[in-house]
Structure 1
Amino acid sequence: MKKTLNIGHRGAKGHEPENTLPSFQKALDLNVDGIELDVHVCKTGELIVIHDFTVDRTTNGSGTVSELTLSEIKALRINGHIEVPTLEEVLELVGKKCLINIELKGRHTAKPVSHLIEKYILEKEYKYEDFIVSSFQREELEMMYLINPKVHLGVLSQASVTQALEWATAFSAKAIHPHFSLLTEENVQKTQEQGFKIYTWTINETEDIERIKTYNIDGIITDFPERI
């Protein structure tokens, strides 16, 4: 059986506040093969690492990410003392230690993410293989493909492996990222025979992890990387 990549969900969400530098550091400490994170563009154009479209759930503030400036977001606190990071801050922390899965969560994120990946490839000797850019949003995936077809894409799906495969084919993606409840031995094998990898999410229970591993999966995204 081949190695299943161990990908920390929003860092190591089971141990530290999600999408924070402490969470990504914890994932690295647990020897992950990759980290997964979410990005939005704020009002002043920077890429902010946060899951929701608003800051209400995870910080001591309120408001829509796209309507807040970087300085306004940086003034907020998570758990009383942690800042909301930018994507560049996460990349500086993680370096080339593991795969970086950037989920395009907000609208109009494809173009700035493409530019940042290009910057790190040109200036810091990264490779396209160091990143995979995923999204549920067809328009963001399509935009990334049109801007830079060299960027490795992953198609997220909570509903249908078949639909994910259709999009993956349309945008020359490298992988599909289906919810683990959608997977069977048959559709995993079919997907891999078509040349796509499967990075599935979010599996936290040991019983589910062990079952999915028997499908010869390529990667598991989890809140608890030590369980993989």
Structure 2
Amino acid sequence: MLKIGHRGAKGHVAENTIESFLKAFELGADGIELDIHLSADQEAIVIHDETVDRTIKNAAGFVREFSVAECQKLGIPTLVEVFHILPEHAFLNIEIKTPEATQIVVEEIEKFVRLQEIKIQNIVVSSFDWETLKRIKSINPEIRLGVLTESNLEAAFVFAQELNAFSINPYFKLLTKDFVQKAQQKGFQIHTWTVNSLEDITFVKNLGIDAIISDFPDRL
């Protein structure tokens, strides 16, 4: 079972920062999950919301209005920066939050795979926007895809089959042992989120899932 730090070690350090990602690995995570938006100059930057208001002190506005240089001054890293700090065998779940970032994310993955700095089998790209996943499949079918859902397991299962996805990534409260077994028998991994309490961690572990995404990777 993979231990994945949600936005790094969000329970300990400010989310989606280099410090948070390094902390996750320090706490024993096998990998990290992060979120991608586009900067004003069309770079893939790592932030969850479409605005900086919640996560950045003394700043406000849409992420797409900030340049990479401005983002870096605010502590918002680029996807490229994260690639550079990943341990050699680390797992990376890249969640695309805006469809406009799709092409850039694919290009960055392809570049770093060519440079042999990352292995394509260590990356999963996920999204709640399933059209984004279809687009990635059409651009580069070698990239592993994760079907995110917070409401409908069966729809995600059907779509994962159509897409030949790598994983189904459901909100943990949706899961049942029967569904996990059915999905795994069809060859899908189950990567569930965001599991933080010890009680909930025990619950999902008993279902036999493949990866847990948590704000507290040290609890896994």
**TM tier, smaller:** over 0.9
Report matched runs for 1:67-146 at 5 Å. Answer: 67-76=65-74, 83-146=75-138
| 1:78-131 alpha-carbon deviations (Å, 9 max, x no partner) | xxxxx1111111111114241010000122121111111111110125321110
C-alpha contact 1:121 1:128 (8 A) present in aligned 2: yes
> Who is 1:37 aligned against?
34
User: Which ranges of structure 2 fall in alignment gaps of 5 or more residues?
Assistant: none
Q: Hey, what does 1:202 align to over in structure 2?
A: 194
For residues 126 and 6 of structure 1, what CA distance do their matches in structure 2 show? 19
CA contact (8 A) 1:109 1:140 kept: no
How far is the alpha carbon of 1:53 from its aligned partner? 0.5
- Contact kept, 8 Å, 2:37 with 2:97, in 1: the verdict is yes
Distance 2:177 2:122 in 1: 28
1:22 aligns with 2:19: yes
CA spacing shift, 1:15–1:125, aligned 2, 3 Å: closer
Q: Match for residue 63 of structure 2?
A: 65
2:143 match: secondary structure: coil
Question: Paired residue for 1:213, among 201, 205, 213?
Answer: 205
Q: Which of 36, 43, 46 lines up with 1:46 in the alignment?
A: 43
Q: Is the 8 A contact 2:71 2:77 kept in 1?
A: no
Residue matched to 2:172: 180
Percent of matched pairs sharing the same residue:
47
C-alpha distance after superposition, 1:27-78 (max 9, x if no partner): 01012111000001111011110000011111121111122222232332xx
The 2-side partners of 1:141 and 1:85 are apart by: 23
Q: CA RMSD in A?
A: 1.1
User: What are the ranges of 5 or more consecutive residues in structure 1 without an aligned counterpart?
Assistant: 77-82
Partners of 1:105 and 1:150 lie apart in 2 by 21
CA distance in 2, matches of 1:53, 1:176: 24
What is the DSSP-based 3-state SS (H/G/I as helix, E as strand, rest coil) of the residue aligned with 1:204? coil
Q: Is the 8 A contact 2:51 2:60 kept in 1?
A: yes
Aligned counterparts of 2:146 and 2:68: Cα–Cα separation in 1: 28
Work out the CA distance in 2 between the residues paired with 1:169 and 1:92: 33
- Asked if the contact 1:9/1:221 (under 8 Å) is kept, the reply is yes
1:226 maps to amino acid: D
The within-5 A match list for 1:139-158 is 139-158=131-150
Distance in 1 (alpha carbons) for counterparts of 2:119 and 2:21? 20
Quick one: distance in 2 between partners of 1:127 and 1:72? 30
